[in-house]
């Protein structure tokens, strides 16, 4: 049991109800890190006895902060087809819905395949220092974070014309990658607004989507090695910005593409 | 009433139930065009008496083909906050769920704003011929489609190393753009696989997400003019590929960013 396993742990209470609890090591500024919540909702589907296939698409909506303590999750298979299955998931506390998700699980088949975009050409993670202690929140210490570009702006940093961050990342302690931990990694990036403005400003994800390009065999091949994560925003307006990101294997395989819409004040 | 308004028309049957019907002019190869379905689900939220704010994020999951005829839609406000509102929507026929959606509506506020990416530098739509009649399905004729790059591959076209398509697009007949028609435009692209492989192969969207960067005032400014739409895939594997796209105003404003995961056989 690593801290990641502890963060996504769920107990089956019968009748499809699962119970989890917040873990202090995953605390963010308000409530838990969004990535561990997304991973927990995905895991809630993986634990269902009638689950069919493996995750290909996940959307998580953050409705309200999760308070410290227990939470309940209900997952419902809205439709099961021959080759895929559609889920709706709700996380609630005291009857109040805090997070929802839709997930598509599917049977992966051998097909023509191609990765059209290229992985950023970067140096080895071993030559870069871990920066996970510099964020002032608990959860970043559950990762080894080695920034190539776009590290957290230091106090007094000026504005940046680009929102691109690229980093090597690995669970701490190291842990074989699976769909749950890959989901959490899709949310590894601090808000792109901070990089653009050179300062920490109020911002929080309201909707998150991940597409999984790798199947269980490809994930197993990664072991517990470093993954390369890169993200950028396209537009900031009216109190919301988007983020698009890719998660790559060290060998150069595209494991996931992911997008989110983030609320901000600036 | 244009053909678009007809396609998204819903009748309130009371108790939050809305009824729509498929329209032959929106037929795709199997069932209606996914864009008109997404627009109809968004409209179902817009029609709710307690709707709060304007759309900022929409995810639509395509569970099964919609058969010709009537369908029912139920929209539920899962949570209403001061500055945003989260919806869950189901479209069903004879009690079978065919499509689901989650939508985030929000109050837009004046903030620091920036469009970080650039609009493709292209010529005027008037200098390009409309290609909407060449698709062999009904719905494309409801648009004026003027391809700059990546038009539908002709018979015998070879493989392409890029999946990028860029086109000018406008509703036919011309109609002032609104959130519903912008949603439909987010799905205007034929499957990226066809361009890469130079042939028409089985493919269908399973999950679609749109982020709205423009508010109602910015949309009103567009009138019924041409918009510029550009899309590409990042990775194809295991029977699924992704697509990322942007919808721009003629003046160069980023109106929407959109992503989808598509099932394919190849």
Does some domain include residue A174? yes
Does some domain include residue B74? yes
Are A265 and B110 a contacting pair at CB < 8 A? no
Q: What is the pLDDT of residue A93?
A: 98
Are B59 and A110 a contacting pair at CB < 8 A? no
From the candidates B45, B52, B57, B256, which should be mutated to test the interface with A, based on the most A CB atoms within 10 A?
B57
Q: Percentage helix, strand, coil, to 5, in chain B?
A: 20, 40, 40
Within a 13 Å sphere around the CA of A226, how many CA atoms are in the beta-carbon half?
19
CATH, residue A130: 2.40.160.210
Q: Is the pLDDT of residue B76 over 90?
A: yes
Confidence of residue B249 (pLDDT cuts 50, 70, 90): very high
* Mean per-residue pLDDT, A215-239: 97
* Mean per-residue pLDDT, A85-89: 98
Q: What is the pLDDT of residue A41?
A: 98
Residue with token string 């290609």:
B131
For residue A133, give every residue at least 6 positions away whose Cβ sits within 8 Å of its Cβ, in sequence order, or none: A140, A141
Q: Is the pLDDT of residue B16 over 90?
A: no
Does some domain include residue A113? no
Are A259 and B261 a contacting pair at CB < 8 A? no
Does some domain include residue A79? yes
Does some domain include residue B118? no
Q: What range defines the domain where residue A182 resides?
A: 3-108+123-264
Q: Which of B166, B181, B140 is nearest to B228 (CA)?
A: B166
How many domains are contained in chain A? 1
Does some domain include residue A118? no
Length of chain A counted residue by residue: 266
Alpha-carbon dihedral of residues A77, A80, A86, A87, nearest 10 degrees? 10
Confidence of residue A229 (pLDDT cuts 50, 70, 90): very high
CA distance B233 to B162: 8
Q: Is the pLDDT of residue B3 over 90?
A: yes
Does some domain include residue B92? yes
Q: Is the pLDDT of residue A14 over 90?
A: no
Q: What is the pLDDT of residue B77?
A: 97
Q: Is the pLDDT of residue A16 over 90?
A: no
Q: Is the pLDDT of residue B14 over 90?
A: no
Are A242 and B108 a contacting pair at CB < 8 A? no
Within a 13 Å sphere around the CA of A252, how many CA atoms are in the beta-carbon half?
10
Does some domain include residue B130? yes
Task: Quick: pLDDT tens for A136-151.
Answer: 999 999 999 999 999 9
Q: What is the pLDDT of residue A176?
A: 97
Token code pair at residue A14 = 């019968």
For residue A99, give every residue at least 6 positions away whose Cβ sits within 8 Å of its Cβ, in sequence order, or none: A37, A41, A60, A61, A62, A63, A66, A90, A91
CA distance B128 to B144: 11
**B37 prior amide bond cis, ω within 30:** no
* Mean per-residue pLDDT, A193-220: 97
Q: Which residues of chain B neighbour A108 with C-beta distances below 8 Å? A: 238-240
Q: What is the pLDDT of residue B233?
A: 98
């Amino acid at each position: 049991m690593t801290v990641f396993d502890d963060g996504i742990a769920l107990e089956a209470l019968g009748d499809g109800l699962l119970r989890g609890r917040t873990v202090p090591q995953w605390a963010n500024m308000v409530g838990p890190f969004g990535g561990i919540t997304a991973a927990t909702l995905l895991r809630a589907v993986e634990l269902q006895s009638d689950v069919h296939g493996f995750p290909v698409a996940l959307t998580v909506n953050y409705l309200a902060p999760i308070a410290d303590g227990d939470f309940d999750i209900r997952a419902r298979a809205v439709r099961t087809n021959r080759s895929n299955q559609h889920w709706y998931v709700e996380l609630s506390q005291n009857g109040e819905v805090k997070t929802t998700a839709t997930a598509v699980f599917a049977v992966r088949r051998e097909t023509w395949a191609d990765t059209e975009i290229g992985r950023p050409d970067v140096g080895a993670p071993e030559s870069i220092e871990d920066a996970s202690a510099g964020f002032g929140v608990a959860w970043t210490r559950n990762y080894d974070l080695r920034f190539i570009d776009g590290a957290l702006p230091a106090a007094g940093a000026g504005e940046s014309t680009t929102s691109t961050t690229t980093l090597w990342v690995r669970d701490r302690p190291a842990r074989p990658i699976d769909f749950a931990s890959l989901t959490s990694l899709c949310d590894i990036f601090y808000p792109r607004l901070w990089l653009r403005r050179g300062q920490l400003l109020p911002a929080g994800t309201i909707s998150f989507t991940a597409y999984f390009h790798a199947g269980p065999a490809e994930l197993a091949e990664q072991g517990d090695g470093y993954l390369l994560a890169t993200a950028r925003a396209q537009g900031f307006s009216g109190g919301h910005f988007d983020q698009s990101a890719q998660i790559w294997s060290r060998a150069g395989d595209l494991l996931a593409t992911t997008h989110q819409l983030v609320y901000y004040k600036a």
